Structure 1
């Protein structure tokens, strides 16, 4: 009831005042007492005759007076019920909160109808101080408004709700605050904004209405990722009585008849990364660039320019000949780095590579057109090699002979450092880019921990097994049920040794003796350069894999096929060996498969496929029954049947691929795939693992040494297949040295790493290395890093139950405040350790570096969310655009109530006149001569001046 009044307490006061006329009337009734008087007896008789009419007249007068008091109370109480006010009109004091989206995509630009340039963020700012605040300032109740940007949710303006009252001065202050602001470089989710809004609205008076205005560009990528979470948070706000409005400020405005609004076209550089994060001076490395066309039209000749330390054309430009709509492409180019650090300028070792989109875009969104990466350049790269047989280290039959020859003769810029396994537990590994373990029997627990920290910190470890390896030690200490850096468990106490018959069968088969385990492995970083050309296209397998025909691997350590490593995304089996089992074991499975395929292929629709199926099925059925035939021959027939891992250009391939895609073959195809994989793939040969920020590569055979009995495990490094070994191991070294980089960290992300507490000082000095090809000129004398100040390292306390002599937990470097794209360098001081060699300085500089960029993969996608989808995600919250602003009138809070109705004032006037007229009529104004008409006896009494009884002055006479 009271909610129907703007001033409910005034209404209650009016209701009480209605009783005043009644009280006065009753008082007038009881202030007289009855006195017997003969003359009055005559008047009483006359009055009784008129009593009914008099009572009605008095009650009517009383009613008029009560009604007048009631209407005046309603007038001041401002009754709004049933007055035809606008639906949803808020009439209470209101707390407004604006969530202003200032993420990079809000820089989407266009031109207004008058030709002036604008962007989504500019329109959002103007909407606040030109529309929202002036409207709320007209409200008749108290209004407050604060603005919080997604990039700085902890800094609302004004800072306090008590200072946010809306008036002309506040509007001017808001305009002065918002106008200079630029779009942020940091991407934030609206879910964070809604959490912050809920917390801030908790400070508002509980009786106030609460309204949140979300001004955004409503990009589809944002809602696809977080829509369900946002919906839940909106439901929580709704349950708290908060009204949420969404305003889409992008042009063209949303239309009711077009659910998918038009979006701007855009091209983004979404990734730039070096093949190696650390290189030797004058050494070439690949720079990989990934570009995506987020638009709806195909593009041609998209050019990317490069700047090395701010200097253009040091790295040749890259041209994407075609870039289809909504597709991405990858290309690589080679770069040579010459700038290294010096004593005076130690940070010059970090070379900033900037890729900039040179092709003019159809749209005006440029935030994602520039991307940075960083490469550390050292005079030489240090490689630590742990040789299992130290006595044969410099001999050709040793374990490291071919690897050292490859690194020193072919690579250049490699500082080969040899050591022994017992010393590995105390060596400082941070100066090294990679560590190789060659036929090492076992490692101590301290050495394993040292390697584990090295890999997690970004280092690379390469492992070549051999006859001296103790598999149970590797599995227990290095694999650790999948938690260690070693990727797989070794399954046997003895290595696999091929028999003479198996070797003869291998020669007869003349098939590949090293097999790519999965076609998708061609895109793995350890193999990518083998199977792609400089323009990112696919190279022919035969260029390298033809040497796999001549590779002999006679011994290796088998890997347990079952285990968590099979399901781990961080572990990849790149190459394996062919299955050497007797082919007769597969005879029955082959017959069952042939019978099932023939049963389905008899349909008339498969007549074209039967031309190729008939001879293949016959070969698959008959081959296992042949004596002395290698299993690889059956695998080859199954490959030709499935055509999913071969692309030889034969006319049968497209026909058979279409055959296997038919629904009738849905149940048989998995059986065929399973049989082919069992027949084709043997034990793993080359396995990799991503561990922390580093990488590990394992070869289950050795690196080419000669062992007891003058036997070799493999002739891959030394025989006819050696060119293939050189390529694979060269790419392995590049892969292992390329770990540790955080190439795709976005501004606002958290960079985290750890350092040994006993080996470092607890602070770091930060620097920023950046370059803007649009605003900056060519730097004279090279780029100068900008100092960002010092930062203390965190050190969590040891566990409560830790031993008193337990080592301190490592220092933690955490940084999430990057807001300018570029390379962030953290300089630390490393202390000399007890096991460091003599002559090691007491303090040495050490560095951590990471590149931060705009989140181009998300912010570059300017596709706007579908209106119906938004309705589902927002639970049908009001959605407005920048053209239809009629809804803003509701913010003025000028509701229609009885106080604004003219007829009410006219009614009060008429009632007042009627009350006065009736009161006059009811008053006693009779003349003496009129008494004859009313009561002759009374008139006679007055005419003869009959004396009335004496009464006290305080007690006037009245009839009963």
Structure 2
């Protein structure tokens, strides 16, 4: 027997002793009084004492029984046996929450967690139909729980259970496979709490059929709280575990460019991360890599420690502009779903850069443009556009550029300063090269603004770097940063021949030094290149003139004619533009949608769904919205590279690739065993079983509510108590006396 509101027993059952306490208190209120006629009464009491005591004892028992019946009736008892059909109502509603996240594909010998779950569902339904009374079924998969808020209906909701429904459920689950989602129990519990209220006379049994992974259950207060609320709503809670041991598992957790994609023909560094979800070290792990279907050299991981994620870098070069894809694949293990990861991008011929040259002679832009786009057979992937400072008045055009360079610009107006700050905060990158035409007072008042503005430092005056007589000490030393990483740690590099004569000294740093970093220093430890993060973007300031041409002070440096400078300029452009060289990678379960200009495309779109056995093709008709077509392919249910074949108006067919990956954290197969689960769910009453050990002999799968029976017994007890109280009183009616 179980109870709907078991906590009421703890509170109510002690009240059963209340009549006895009252009786004992009344006995203490009696006082002994000597009275001559008492002798006759005492003699009568001796003759009738046993009968009087028996009536008082029966009266006390009836009163305590009445209180106990009230408490039991409010607690909602459920009798889990066939005897209950003689005493209570027999409408039993079986609510099955079935975990179909991809960790349920965990394989053990010749079975998987999903196979065990399907067998458990079938066994539960067989047991339920063998019990008398009306049986009902609600089946809810974890992956569907997240869609219920969007109006999607459950596959089986409050269905009367019979042989036909059992066959329908078995056929349905057999046709379904484990999803690639990482949905947890909390979403399913919230959906179960939102089910319609119980009908009169209905008892519910909740089954949670899952693998009970540690990351979703251990120290998860939300899961425990939701399950506790559900326990108060059901007659019985059954936890069915489908996996009985933890298997080691590796997962690819990262595949993306180190600093955004590069243009066609330019090498891109990719980062590949592998996570070891086990307590043992993994050694000699090869990862196969393909680019547009062509095999690349495998990436080797010598060792990956327990619970660690190790990242390796490899290079790719997309030969031409357009959509491209990269795939990484681990060898097979307990879980196949997280062994693959995908990357897709649309590679342009080049990225546009805006160069604003404010120097008097206009010579700074020549050296920067030559370094970024030297011409000939070289393909750096940049298209620098040189403009005067007045171009910044075209504020609406700034977003068309991947990065902006300001070269010795004297000053800007207020709207231009605001436009640049908005550009950076939205993810853009700005580089400033200072020079003799710069007005330090303006830079400090409007661009520095006590550390809250665009630049990271407060400028002092141009200062000469004095010689210390040590020819072995280079003028410039660099930090380990993406802009200078290629030079860090190198001996006898071209950095040693870089010469700096003049630079801007600084008076102070910004108010948020954690967002400011010195990337290069001079030999006197003065900052030479400084970076600041502002919003989502970055600002890099070189405190020295770019051009080596003579000025009124003399030649500032030979930095831009040093062989180091073209590498520095390209790395700087790559760093500043990384946020604007984005790529489209999403997670399973996300909405696959994007817009197309209505003036350039037709609304017809064909979608090729990846990894669907035989290739699945979906034909869409995009919806027009505010001059654009909204292409919406719904929720991504499978991982892989989705191909959208577009129909441009003026050119040949075009494609858009979207990489969809699983949440690699679901690959953590560490689970809670029976004892750990009991510790985690302390104070929650439930029954536990392994799916592999669930048999037809198991009970507690159907129940009968005894509320009506207890109410009838309570009424009978109250009537008997009143009759016996009247008979046991000393105030009976005297014959012949009228009132």
> Normalized against structure 2, the TM-score is what?
0.70
Instruction: After TM superposition, give the deviation of residue 497 of structure 1 in Å.
Output: 3.2
SS in 2 for 1:233: helix
Distance 1:717 1:750, change over 3 A: farther
Q: Does 1:385 align with 2:345?
A: no
Instruction: After TM superposition, give the deviation of residue 378 of structure 1 in Å.
Output: 2.6
Does the Cα contact within 8 Å between 1:577 and 1:685 map onto a contact in 2? Answer: yes
Identify the residue that residue 297 of structure 2 maps to in structure 1: 316
Distance 2:355 2:460 in 1: 23
Does the Cα contact within 8 Å between 1:281 and 1:377 map onto a contact in 2? Answer: yes
Q: Does 1:216 align with 2:210?
A: yes
- Equivalent of 2:172 in 172, 177, 197: 177
- Equivalent of 1:729 in 563, 569, 572: 569
Q: Deviations over 1:880-930 (max 9, x none)?
A: 322343695201337999x9xxxxxxxxxxxxxxxxxxxxxxxxxxxxxxx
Distance 1:101 1:472, change over 3 A: farther
Distance 1:421 1:828 in 2: 40
Q: How do 1:642-657 and structure 2 match up within 5 A? A: none
> Bigger shift: 143-152 or 865-874?
865-874
Does the Cα contact within 8 Å between 1:97 and 1:211 map onto a contact in 2? Answer: yes
Q: Deviations over 1:308-365 (max 9, x none)?
A: 22x222x33323344444333322222222243xxxxxxxx111112222x3x3x341
Instruction: After TM superposition, give the deviation of residue 367 of structure 1 in Å.
Output: 0.8
Distance 1:471 1:308 in 2: 50
Does the Cα contact within 8 Å between 1:138 and 1:892 map onto a contact in 2? Answer: no
Q: Does 1:146 align with 2:138?
A: yes
Identify the residue that residue 433 of structure 1 maps to in structure 2: 402
- Equivalent of 1:404 in 358, 369, 374: 369
Instruction: After TM superposition, give the deviation of residue 555 of structure 1 in Å.
Output: 1.6
- How many residues align? The count is 622
Distance 1:289 1:338 in 2: 21
Q: Does 1:290 align with 2:273?
A: yes
- Equivalent of 1:124 in 117, 136, 154: 117
Identify the residue that residue 637 of structure 2 maps to in structure 1: 819
Distance 1:826 1:448 in 2: 40
SS in 1 for 2:319: coil
Instruction: After TM superposition, give the deviation of residue 407 of structure 1 in Å.
Output: 1.4
Distance 1:829 1:220, change over 3 A: same
Structure 1 residues without counterparts, runs of 5 or longer: 5-77, 112-116, 254-261, 341-348, 517-521, 532-540, 581-680, 778-783, 796-809, 831-840, 900-960
Instruction: After TM superposition, give the deviation of residue 161 of structure 1 in Å.
Output: 3.8
Distance 1:152 1:558, change over 3 A: farther
Distance 1:84 1:223, change over 3 A: closer
Q: Deviations over 1:537-584 (max 9, x none)?
A: xxxx13487826855373236374352x334xxx4525143695xxxx
Higher helix share: 1
Structure 2 residues without counterparts, runs of 5 or longer: 5-72, 710-739
Identify the residue that residue 423 of structure 1 maps to in structure 2: 391
Q: Deviations over 1:111-170 (max 9, x none)?
A: 2xxxxx321122212211x212122223334332222222222358755744x1222121
Q: How do 1:241-640 and structure 2 match up within 5 A? A: 243-250=236-243, 253=244, 262-275=245-258, 277-309=260-292, 311-313=293-295, 315-340=296-321, 349-357=322-330, 359=331, 361=332, 363-389=333-359, 392-393=361-362, 398-409=363-374, 411-424=379-392, 425-426=394-395, 428-429=397-398, 432-443=401-412, 447=416, 460-469=429-438, 486=454, 488-491=455-458, 494-499=459-464, 503-505=466-468, 507=470, 510=473, 513-516=476-479, 522=480, 525-526=482-483, 541-543=489-491, 547=495, 550=498, 552=500, 554-556=502-504, 558=506, 560-563=508-511, 565-567=512-514, 571=515, 573=517, 575-577=519-521
Distance 1:415 1:192 in 2: 49
Identify the residue that residue 608 of structure 1 maps to in structure 2: none
Identify the residue that residue 711 of structure 1 maps to in structure 2: 554
Does the Cα contact within 8 Å between 2:474 and 2:523 map onto a contact in 1? Answer: no
Does the Cα contact within 8 Å between 2:610 and 2:641 map onto a contact in 1? Answer: no
Instruction: After TM superposition, give the deviation of residue 180 of structure 1 in Å.
Output: 0.9
Q: Deviations over 1:201-232 (max 9, x none)?
A: x34426533333222222223335x8122223
Does the Cα contact within 8 Å between 1:472 and 1:490 map onto a contact in 2? Answer: no
Identify the residue that residue 905 of structure 1 maps to in structure 2: none
Identify the residue that residue 890 of structure 1 maps to in structure 2: 700
Does the Cα contact within 8 Å between 1:146 and 1:157 map onto a contact in 2? Answer: no
Distance 1:688 1:264, change over 3 A: farther
SS in 2 for 1:102: coil
Instruction: After TM superposition, give the deviation of residue 766 of structure 1 in Å.
Output: 6.5
Identify the residue that residue 101 of structure 2 maps to in structure 1: 103
SS in 2 for 1:382: strand
- Equivalent of 2:663 in 845, 855, 868: 855
Does the Cα contact within 8 Å between 2:208 and 2:239 map onto a contact in 1? Answer: yes
Does the Cα contact within 8 Å between 1:765 and 1:826 map onto a contact in 2? Answer: no
Instruction: After TM superposition, give the deviation of residue 709 of structure 1 in Å.
Output: 0.5
Q: CA RMSD in A?
A: 4.9
Does the Cα contact within 8 Å between 1:283 and 1:336 map onto a contact in 2? Answer: yes
Distance 1:191 1:739 in 2: 34
Instruction: After TM superposition, give the deviation of residue 413 of structure 1 in Å.
Output: 4.1
- Equivalent of 2:223 in 223, 230, 244: 230
Distance 1:457 1:189 in 2: 34
SS in 2 for 1:265: coil
Instruction: After TM superposition, give the deviation of residue 185 of structure 1 in Å.
Output: 1.8
Does the Cα contact within 8 Å between 1:467 and 1:495 map onto a contact in 2? Answer: no
Does the Cα contact within 8 Å between 1:764 and 1:826 map onto a contact in 2? Answer: no
Q: How do 1:666-745 and structure 2 match up within 5 A? A: 683=527, 685-687=529-531, 689=533, 691-692=535-536, 696-704=539-547, 706=549, 708-718=551-561, 722-740=562-580, 741=582, 745=586
Distance 1:449 1:197, change over 3 A: farther
Distance 1:509 1:332, change over 3 A: closer
SS in 2 for 1:125: helix
**Which is higher, the Rg of structure 1 or of structure 2?**
1
Distance 1:481 1:263, change over 3 A: farther
Instruction: After TM superposition, give the deviation of residue 285 of structure 1 in Å.
Output: 2.0
SS in 2 for 1:889: coil
SS in 2 for 1:123: helix
Distance 1:149 1:434 in 2: 48
Higher strand share: 2
SS in 2 for 1:575: strand
Distance 2:310 2:412 in 1: 44
Does the Cα contact within 8 Å between 1:278 and 1:433 map onto a contact in 2? Answer: no
Does the Cα contact within 8 Å between 1:265 and 1:294 map onto a contact in 2? Answer: yes
Instruction: After TM superposition, give the deviation of residue 732 of structure 1 in Å.
Output: 2.0
Does the Cα contact within 8 Å between 2:529 and 2:540 map onto a contact in 1? Answer: no
Does the Cα contact within 8 Å between 1:290 and 1:329 map onto a contact in 2? Answer: yes
SS in 1 for 2:409: coil
SS in 2 for 1:279: coil
SS in 2 for 1:739: helix
Distance 1:894 1:730, change over 3 A: same
Identify the residue that residue 21 of structure 2 maps to in structure 1: none
Distance 1:572 1:882, change over 3 A: farther
